[in-house]
């Protein structure tokens, strides 16, 4: 009998992390884009577990959305509990691929986007 491992990765929506003056539609789209990154980030975590089975913890990411292109960039980790360089590179790469469908017109800073890595039972 095989044992199944479930992973829980929680990416909080960025509605509270956005600048307070940001359009609610833009905040909603940013939250949706971050949620769309959940599966690729989960794959990053799964791959990192092959080399470190005790890996868990939280990232707190700070980033910005370019006002002219809608691309996510300027990605920095304010908190890095896993301390795993391969996981860090993979997550930052996933986030850097995100892009809003319509550029917001002005730069939007996301001060605190938590990403939690933990085991869960299916």
Average pLDDT, the chain: 85
Q: What is the pLDDT of residue 3?
A: 38
Q: What is the pLDDT of residue 11?
A: 61
Tell how far CA 93 is from the center of its chain.
Answer: 10
Q: What is the pLDDT of residue 6?
A: 44
Q: What is the pLDDT of residue 21?
A: 56
Lateral strand order in the sheet of 57-65: 6-11, 108-120, 57-65, 72-80
pLDDT(2) > 80:
no
Q: Which two tokens stand for residue 70?
A: 């809608």
Query: Which helix (H) or strand (E) is 76 found in, with range?
Result: strand 72-80
Q: Which two tokens stand for residue 7?
A: 């992973």
Tell how far CA 38 is from the center of its chain.
Answer: 7
Q: What is the pLDDT of residue 72?
A: 97
Q: State what percent of residues in the chain have pLDDT above 70.
A: 80
């Amino acid at each position: 009998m095989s044992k199944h491992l479930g992973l829980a990765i929680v990416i909080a929506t960025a509605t509270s992390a956005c600048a307070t003056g940001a359009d609610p539609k833009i905040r909603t789209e940013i939250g949706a884009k971050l949620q769309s990154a959940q599966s690729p980030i989960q794959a990053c975590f799964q791959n990192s577990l092959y080399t470190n089975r005790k890996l868990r913890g939280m990232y707190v990411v700070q980033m910005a959305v370019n006002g002219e292109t809608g691309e996510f960039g300027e990605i920095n980790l304010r908190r890095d509990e896993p301390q795993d360089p391969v996981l860090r590179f993979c997550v930052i790469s996933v986030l850097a691929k995100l892009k809003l469908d319509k550029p917001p017109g002005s730069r939007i800073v996301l001060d605190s986007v938590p990403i939690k890595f933990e085991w869960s039972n299916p």
